[in-house]
Structure 1
Amino acid sequence: MWAALLVVVLLVACSLPAVTVLMIGSGREGADGASSESADPTENPTTAAARQLAERIGAQLNRQAAALLDGDRAGFLAIAETAAARTELRRRYDSLRALRVARWVASPSGLPTRAGEAGEWRMRVSMNYCFVTASCQLSPMVVDTRWSDGPEPRLLEIERSKPFPDVLGQASGQPGNVPWEISELTVVVGKRTLVATVREHRELLPILLLQAEAAARVADRYAVDGTPPDRYRVFYAGKKEWQSWYGGEQPEWGIGTAIGIGGGHHEVVLGPDSLYYGPYLDQVLRHEFTHAATMHDGYWEDSAWWLVDGLAEYAAANGQPIARYPALAETRRLVRGDWDGRFDDLYPTAEFSDEEVNGTYGIAYLAVGYFMERFGAERLLPFFKAVVHQGRRPAQTSEELLGVPWSELHKECVAYIRKAVR
């Protein structure tokens, strides 16, 4: 059903975009990339000991980062003390190398705390990384770990990342359970995209790469800040992965979503049924890639939803006539029925039926189509940025950026939508 194709992008609004962690360096820098502060003679001895342990853990993490970037699997695994930790690290190493990790910065976050057993400590670790392009903005995450103390601390356990409402004190969070933590991935990389899946589905990668590259060329046109993503990242999930990647909270009817992971990056996840939608998969990819090209790491108001998904739907249509819009019938019924002409309360909720959701997406698509026809992308995208990224109301910014009062624009846009669905 087209409902499934449209409803799924609602997850973009619900996913927690992660934060930007400012770290500068070649990709091997870490906790001891700068000189340690001198010990405070008045510092509590217990705190001093914890700080020194954190520095030793940081040194281990730096050596591990160097091994990862050098392709030294044995060096990457060398910090592990237990078989379980080695197994976890081996899977992560293989997937990260397949994803062409280009920068990796890991360091202790805060101070360690006792784990209960003598000589064992818990330590939250900050990891920041780039794939393919070393100059990309780092994507951050934090994970919990457990270590044994010593001159060179050894890793006892590394947990998978969990959803956090904030990361390192910033205002946005991380989704948790990213694919390379959970699965051994097979990856292909194109000029504009990175496409990954598990081994069982590796035969799908060539066609997915072809479709993703085509979708990227469309989404690039809508980069709000003028610079498209360095790579659009696509992860094709089998049934098992669909229930585990990024927390596994995707709805049963979903076939894809774009999830903010920080560093200005959004990763697109295609569900196990996505390939059964034939030509519509191209539209799904264009839609989700446009989110990756237009969204930022911060939060945005529900009242701006019509712009967020309207622009993605407009890009997904890729110039096709309105008459060919797949959800036009549902849009017509909603416009002729209960729609009150407002845009700020269009955001679909869980209580909406498939038909209602399709109709709201259709209204958003037509609304953005009106603005595109009248103002073009060069004027609409700054308006999008003001409303979605900066949280300004259309009434506060339409006259400044578009030269027309919002009351006039809104009235004309509603008339355009009603005429389009006659």
Structure 2
Amino acid sequence: MPEDENGSVPESPEFPPLPAPAEAEPVPRRRRRRAVAGVAVLVLIGAVAAVALPRIFTGRAAVSAAPPSAHPLASASAPTPVPGGPLYPPQPTATAPGDQAAWALQWQAGAVAEGNEAKWMAAVDPGQPKLQARYRNVFRTLRALGSTQVEYTPSIGKADRKDPSALVIPVDMYYCYGTDTCGGGGVDPPRVRQALTMKEIGGHWLIVGVAADPAPEEFDPAPWEDGTLVVSQGSRVTVAAEPSETKYLAQVLPLAEKAAATNDPFAATLHAEQKRFRVFLAGEKQWHRWYGGDDTKWVVGMSVPINQYGFDVVLRVRSLHTVTETQVTLQHEFGHVITLYGAQGSRARDKWLAEGVAEYIGWSPRPAAGSMRRSSVRWQIARKRPATMIPKDPGANASVRAGDAYYGLSHFAVDCMATVYGRDKMFRFVREVLVHSETYDVAAHDAYGIGFAKVDKTCTGWIRSHA
């Protein structure tokens, strides 16, 4: 595609753009405990296509996420079915109220693997229609998202201050999306943290309340906890949206399917093949809230590690106006999923590499010089001649152009390593640093047979000459 006089690729005229984004509602910033795997930003992009609406599921959920600790589902073994009818049978050996409540939750959790909605609902107070609707939609949402197993780990309950006959019980609710997130080997499955209120009604301990936000200091909530998600299934990707964003499902799903296919060869190289990707479309309110939110003004997408091998991708969908922008962002975020697959954590100093390789995948098959960030890269180089291949993070309050340049320069750095030393060696360097937490020098010797100082000097010159 030809560039204009500013070094940017012109917008594509084939498709009508998405509606302009709505005004963001002010949402309080929340402390974040777990690092977001990646983000993406684009400027000066084209348009978005409209296609037929695929199959849809609906559901609601409202619980609270937190980082994993204990892992009762790590082996992904199927739960033992509990015999009985629509109401769970009392556990004869459970005499303490807390034990009886835990028995009720065990009964409920087994219903997800069985696909038994009536059994799931048996542990919810039938006298509360709103609570019943909430839990019914939690079940349907989890099933639509592909959850294969749920298990509760309750802590010691305390008497409810409003009703001493009820117990408020902190619980960890673990869930699996098949072997993608619960593959065994001691890996913690994803979890959400809840504060349930339970009470004995008619001889059965039932859920009579759940705290909307029991742990605001945690990295929460997960998207499916917010409310009525609409879930659309493709062959490789599940896309879910808040009701206000459902009009974008038909546009995003086919682009996400294409992004998954584009990522497959890279995933094979990295031994990080994915059975299914999950994408959540956030309105402005959800963008600032889900997984702790993001207030960086130039960010439009993030990949969030829900455990060592599982990721949720969140798009700031109303800030994506074109087909090209949406496609690149999806490929970028899926790039984070496969390049950080198996990583136990992230280091702030490695952000340039994480974003650079995601850009490399996101713009594929275009090189860095063919991306729409090139004009911003030239702008940044004109302001300050780079002395290293590692660009300086401009920070959350930087201008959109500065953020654009940072991603573009990171892309050039990775593109240099792939061009000069070979793509497979570049991916080896990436995996050594991002997944195995090696130093740049050790990773460079391992991948390229030379020290990182030489790589840095070579690629700094390469960037200046190719940008």
TM-score by length of 1: 0.80
- The worse-fitting range, judged by mean Cα deviation, of 246-255 and 179-188 is 246-255
Which letter does structure 2 place at the counterpart of 1:89? Y
Distance 1:11 1:132 in 2: 22
How far off is 1:95 after superposition?
Answer: 1.6
- 2:255 alignment partner in structure 1: 211
CA shift in 2, pair 1:366/1:248, >3 Å: closer
Which letter does structure 1 place at the counterpart of 2:108? Q
- 1:129 alignment partner in structure 2: 175
Distance 2:386 2:351 in 1: 16
How far off is 1:342 after superposition?
Answer: 3.1
- 2:437 alignment partner in structure 1: 391
Counterpart pick for 2:419 among 373, 380, 396: 373
Deviation per residue, 1:64-116 (Å, 9 max, x gap) = 123333333332222122625323312312322322322222231x3223332
Which letter does structure 1 place at the counterpart of 2:160? A
Which letter does structure 2 place at the counterpart of 1:213? E
How far off is 1:156 after superposition?
Answer: 2.0
Distance 2:437 2:229 in 1: 38
- 1:168 alignment partner in structure 2: none
Distance 1:92 1:345 in 2: 43
Q: Are the counterparts in 1 of residues 412 and 463 from structure 2 also a CA contact under 8 Å?
A: yes
CA shift in 2, pair 1:388/1:347, >3 Å: farther
Instruction: Give yes or no for the alignment of 1:147 onto 2:198.
Output: yes
Deviation per residue, 1:334-375 (Å, 9 max, x gap) = 223325423556233123222222212111101100111233
Distance 1:350 1:198 in 2: 26
Distance 2:429 2:299 in 1: 30
Q: Are the counterparts in 2 of residues 163 and 247 from structure 1 also a CA contact under 8 Å?
A: no
- Secondary structure at the aligned position of 2:417 is classed as helix
Structure 1 residues 175-186: aligned runs within 5 Å: 175-186=219-230
Instruction: Give yes or no for the alignment of 1:158 onto 2:210.
Output: yes
Which letter does structure 1 place at the counterpart of 2:235? K
Distance 1:225 1:53 in 2: 50
Instruction: Give yes or no for the alignment of 1:192 onto 2:236.
Output: yes
Which letter does structure 1 place at the counterpart of 2:460? V
- Secondary structure at the aligned position of 2:321 is classed as helix
- 2:23 alignment partner in structure 1: none
- Secondary structure at the aligned position of 1:326 is classed as coil
How far off is 1:257 after superposition?
Answer: 1.8
Unpaired segments ≥5 residues, structure 1: 3-9, 32-38, 40-47, 166-173
Counterpart pick for 2:344 among 290, 298, 303: 298
Deviation per residue, 1:364-402 (Å, 9 max, x gap) = 101100111233343222322222233322123311332
How far off is 1:315 after superposition?
Answer: 0.7
Distance 2:443 2:248 in 1: 45
Unpaired segments ≥5 residues, structure 2: 1-7, 10-34, 40-64, 83-92, 184-188
TM-score by length of 2: 0.73
Counterpart pick for 1:256 among 283, 301, 306: 301
- 2:458 alignment partner in structure 1: 412
CA shift in 2, pair 1:407/1:128, >3 Å: same
- 2:366 alignment partner in structure 1: 320
- 1:271 alignment partner in structure 2: 316
Counterpart pick for 1:111 among 156, 159, 167: 156
Aligned length: 387
- 1:6 alignment partner in structure 2: none
Q: Are the counterparts in 2 of residues 300 and 388 from structure 1 also a CA contact under 8 Å?
A: yes
Structure 1 residues 64-143: aligned runs within 5 Å: 64-81=108-125, 83=128, 84-108=130-154, 110-116=155-161, 117-131=163-177, 136-137=182-183, 138-143=189-194
Q: Are the counterparts in 1 of residues 305 and 312 from structure 2 also a CA contact under 8 Å?
A: yes
Which letter does structure 2 place at the counterpart of 1:255? V
Counterpart pick for 2:326 among 270, 277, 281: 281
- Secondary structure at the aligned position of 2:194 is classed as strand
Which letter does structure 2 place at the counterpart of 1:144? A
Percent of residue pairs identical? 23
Deviation per residue, 1:113-160 (Å, 9 max, x gap) = 333232222222122223366884432222221222586422121234
- The worse-fitting range, judged by mean Cα deviation, of 372-381 and 178-187 is 372-381
- Secondary structure at the aligned position of 1:153 is classed as strand
How far off is 1:289 after superposition?
Answer: 0.7
- 2:387 alignment partner in structure 1: 341
- The worse-fitting range, judged by mean Cα deviation, of 16-25 and 117-126 is 16-25
Q: Are the counterparts in 2 of residues 383 and 401 from structure 1 also a CA contact under 8 Å?
A: yes
